[in-house]
Structure 1
Amino acid sequence: MPRTPPFFVWVDMTGEFGLRSAPGLLLGWRRTPESKLSARKDSAWQCLVIHASEPAPYSPESMNVYQSWMNPAHVRPIEVEKPTPRKWKTKSR
């Protein structure tokens, strides 16, 4: 994954990166401090992402935009093409 933001990413909170992956823009990185409440004794990286998502019933007219710090496991560089169920065909003239 590129290290210098900003760059385009796919966002998928399920981690499956399938048909419901959303386009996003990774804006920055931060390292979270060690948590006394967590079993982890080290810090973790997070990325600041702005992404668009369609709420159910998945209508393009009802697109929402979110900004959040998230685990890098939920993002992938945009150079990986989004999977599609079929190839779109254009009408030839």
Structure 2
Amino acid sequence: MSRHSSHQTTDHDRIRRWVEERDGSPATVRGTAERGEEAGLLRIMFRDDEDLEEIEWEDFFEKFDEEKLAFLYQDKTADGEVSRFFKFVQRE
């Protein structure tokens, strides 16, 4: 497997470590949370973005598991640089 290939995980510790190593934080898209919910559409925030609202990891993973998501990510780019490529996919 090449170093720039993608990986998929549902492991909360692995996801959190990957995000924090890239100075990211869990977030939700503003205005997407339903009444009584802590999180709406999940995102990872790497910089200030007025469309995103930072949330707690606990709320992030509650929604992540509820929606049966998996985290598809890349550790390194083809050039060997640290990658920030990720997306949320449905669990298989």
Give the alignment's TM-score, normalised by structure 2. 0.23
Q: 1 or 2, which has the higher helix percentage? A: 2
Give the TM-score taking structure 1 as reference length: 0.23
